[in-house]
Amino acid sequence: MNDNVRTITYGTLVVFVIGLFVWIGFIYVNACGFTYNCLRGELPVERTPVPTLIPATMPAMQTPVSEVTTAEVCRVAATDLIDAWVEAGSPEAEPFQFTDANGRQCEAVSDDVKPLLEALSKQLVDAGTPLP
């Protein structure tokens, strides 16, 4: 009885090792054939190790320079802008002056105020408050 367990264990190990060699051999034969100088894993000589960039032939695109930069933007609360528009007599076509949050003199037109008034009236209608 003792010989049977030993025989099965050794037989299993031998079959595993033979199977491992057959598997490695099968992979090698499929990749390289029956030669000992397999060059499939090497890169061809005509390639460079670092890809080369093709130089651009067109000139670089020029970005337009805007007249107003972020440092020149007037910062003002919506209610202060509406108040300044009303104090100026609610002009439709001509610009009106106001002072922004930084204390600078700024200029706006009625088109700047109209979106604020529309948003305010929408909020009042949504809240159920009747408009005069």
Query: Is 61 a domain residue?
Result: no
Work out the pLDDT band at 62, boundaries 50, 70, 90.
confident
Return the residue matching tokens 């528009």.
Answer: 85
> What is the total count of domains within the chain?
2
Q: Is 59 or 65 the better-scoring residue by pLDDT? A: 59
Work out the pLDDT band at 114, boundaries 50, 70, 90.
confident
For the chain, give the mean pLDDT.
78
The predicted pLDDT at position 72 comes to: 66
Do 30 and 77 fall within a single domain?
no
Best CA proximity match to 81, nearest among 111, 45, 49, 51:
111
Between vectors from CA 25 to CA 23 and to CA 26, what angle results, nearest 5°? 65
Do 39 and 74 fall within a single domain?
no
Do 117 and 80 fall within a single domain?
yes
Do 80 and 39 fall within a single domain?
no
Query: Is 63 a domain residue?
Result: no
The predicted pLDDT at position 69 comes to: 47
The predicted pLDDT at position 8 comes to: 92
Query: Is 48 a domain residue?
Result: no
Query: Is 14 a domain residue?
Result: yes
Question: Rounded CA gap, 99 and 32, in Å?
Answer: 81
Return the residue matching tokens 């529309």.
Answer: 118
Query: Is 78 a domain residue?
Result: yes
User: Residue 120: how many CB atoms within 10 A of its CB?
Assistant: 13
Question: Rounded CA gap, 113 and 79, in Å?
Answer: 10
Q: Residues 90-102: what's their mean pLDDT? A: 82
Q: Residues 30-59: what's their mean pLDDT? A: 71
Lookup: tokens for 123? 């909020």
Work out the pLDDT band at 67, boundaries 50, 70, 90.
low
Least confidently predicted of 10-24, 38-52, 85-99, 105-119: 38-52
Question: Rounded CA gap, 33 and 26, in Å?
Answer: 10
Do 81 and 32 fall within a single domain?
no
The predicted pLDDT at position 9 comes to: 92
Check whether 49 has a pLDDT greater than 80: no
Is 0.85 topped by the overall pTM? no
Query: Is 132 a domain residue?
Result: no
Structural domain of residue 90, as residue ranges?
70-127
